[in-house]
Amino acid sequence: MTKKMIMIYIGLFLVMMVSIGVNYPTWIVPILLVLFVANILLQLVKNKNRAVKETLEWCETFLVAGVLAYFIQSFAIQAFKIPSGSMLETLQLGDHLFVNKYIYGTKIPFTQHKVMVFRHIERGDIIVFKYPKDPTKDFVKRAIGLPGDTVEIHNKIVYVNNQRLIESYVEHKDSRVFPDDPRLMEDARLRDNMAPIKVPPNSYFCMGDNRDFSLDSRYWGFMPEDNLKGKAWFIYWPLNRIRIIR
């Protein structure tokens, strides 16, 4: 087996590690830095003997594979596991899916600028983003209100810009309808009825398909575009759930 083939297998292995929940920033970056430093040191003495040269070649193999996997995960495709039932029945608890990170544009590191924007978020897109109240957590919801839209809810029915939104994907598992009454707790008062609100620039109003049991924009506000990670693209596990996400 050639070192190039080994490099490819290592890269695939690192990508698969993401699919089971391993977080690259906590472990692969230090490893890559160590390999990089080791590579420099070995370059200085590579002509000393054959063993050092062989070690250098292996370090390069692991370094290239690791960098390749890191860039794929950071800028192209990332694996994600559905942590809750807020998107039932579209997405099931425990579904493993790939997130397309480049379709909405690739962010230039250390800036807020994007390049190669293939398209912008459209109403109905299922997106993955950093939870605004706790950026260490990833949320998956459906984009309902786009920048400039006015969103309101009357008796569980969503209206965007005074037009009823047709939502064949929505599940209502609770037949009760709560009024927008200040005497009620907020999670009940805002669930089924919400006064009109306008989505600000560079922000989105997001909701779960399991509408009666979803922690979404009704409760924590708008999703800033800077929090966006990508578009939910493809369920790859379990096998009987393999499909493109729509």
Is 203 known to be catalytic? Answer: no
Is 175 known to be catalytic? Answer: no
Q: Pick the catalytic residue: 141, 217, 229, 231?
A: 141
- Which structure tokens are listed for 236? 């790859």
Q: Per the confidence metrics, is the pTM higher than 0.95?
A: no
Indicate if the pLDDT at residue 24 is higher than 50. Answer: no
Indicate if the pLDDT at residue 20 is higher than 50. Answer: no
Indicate if the pLDDT at residue 175 is higher than 70. Answer: yes
Residue 235 contacts by C-beta under 8 Å, 6 or more apart in sequence?
91, 95, 96, 97, 241, 242, 243, 245
Hunting for tokens 């890191």 — which residue is that? 70
> What pLDDT, on the 0 to 100 scale, is given for residue 12?
55
**Mean pLDDT across the stretch 232-242?**
91
Query: How far is the C-alpha of 135 from the C-alpha of 132, rounded, in Å?
Result: 6
> What pLDDT, on the 0 to 100 scale, is given for residue 2?
55
Q: Pick the catalytic residue: 53, 81, 86, 214?
A: 86
At 222-234, the pLDDT tens digits run 999 999 999 999 9
